[in-house]
Amino acid sequence: MPSSSHTAETGWRRVFSGSIADVTAASAWVERIAASLKLPGKLTFAMQVCLEELMSNIARHGKVHSFPTETDADNPLSISIDIDVLADRIAMTFEDNGRPFDVEKAPAKVVDQPLEQLWPGGLGINLIKSFSHNIEYRRTDAGNRVTVDFMR
Amino acid sequence: MKLETVDLANGVTKISLAGRLDIQGALKVDGEFAAIAEAKKNIVVDLSEVTFLASLGIRTLIVGAKAAANNGGKLVLLNPQPNVESVLRSSNVDTVMPIINDATPLATVFGA
């Protein structure tokens, strides 16, 4: 089950599993926070796009863990999300214990082939970069840390 | 995520989607959407009731468009909401699946 906390009026934190159901739960959580902050619909949508793409990447590809001595059962996938409300922007920080993936350096693929030659996937990184104003990746001892910023 | 299908005139099939075409929504409709696209030629996908679109939802649409093209036809996208349209255009999806609205004559789109 996700755990949740709310720090004063400046930020929220919640921990999710790497399940598909929790991707949807996290999106609903962000929508509730955005509504409480009275954020514009376009900004709320952008936050949900980035959350969806980052979390679904982790849920689908993150299950080989960083530490070879641990198995998935011993160390299930965990994704924490911090939402910090700053004067000029909203910062969403994702930390997961999955395998390394530098989303900041990953290529932003778009549709650039005719249908016959097009491989139908891999468009998520471009969406993250298109719908956020800044993205920063850092590999930590615990896993991956990604911060995406949205100007207010 | 809901999916409804209706056959229009001139061999055009309309698939109406409603809800969030996110990872969960895409997984729910992928099989049915692909099966319809493989069985039909010219397809209009009504996106007017789709409130959210993720990359996996785009994948669903591209798989359908490839199937329609394999049948010698075309798949077009009808009336996306502005946020959904921004996802489509930022991915260049409109270069392989035309985005149309109610004012666009289907005969012009499909040459039917």
Calculate the alpha carbon distances from B111 to B13, B22, B69, B70 in Å: 14, 32, 14, 17
Write out chain A residues lying below 8 Å of B88, CB-based: none
Does A112 contact B at CB distance below 8 Å? yes
Mean pLDDT of all residues in B52-63: 97
> Tens digit of pLDDT for each residue in B16-50?
999 999 999 999 999 999 999 999 999 999 999 99
Q: Mark which residues 26-85 of A lie under 8 Å from B by CB.
A: 27, 41-42, 45, 48-49, 52-53, 56, 59
- Residues of the domain holding B43: 2-107
Closest CA to A78 of A7, A15, A136, A5: A15
Determine, for residues A121 and B90 on separate chains, whether the beta-carbon distance falls below 8 Å.
no
Determine, for residues B52 and A131 on separate chains, whether the beta-carbon distance falls below 8 Å.
no
Of B27, B63, B93, the CB nearest to A111: B93
Specify if B112 maps to a domain: no
> Tens digit of pLDDT for each residue in A45-67?
999 999 999 999 998 888 755 55
What CATH number has the domain spanning A3-151? 3.30.565.10
Does B8 contact A at CB distance below 8 Å? no
Given this model, what pLDDT does residue A4 score?
A: 53
CATH code of the domain containing B16:
3.30.750.24
Specify if B15 maps to a domain: yes
pLDDT at A129 over 70: yes
Using 50, 70 and 90 to split pLDDT, how confident is the model at A69? low
Specify if B89 maps to a domain: yes
Number of folded domains that form chain B: 1
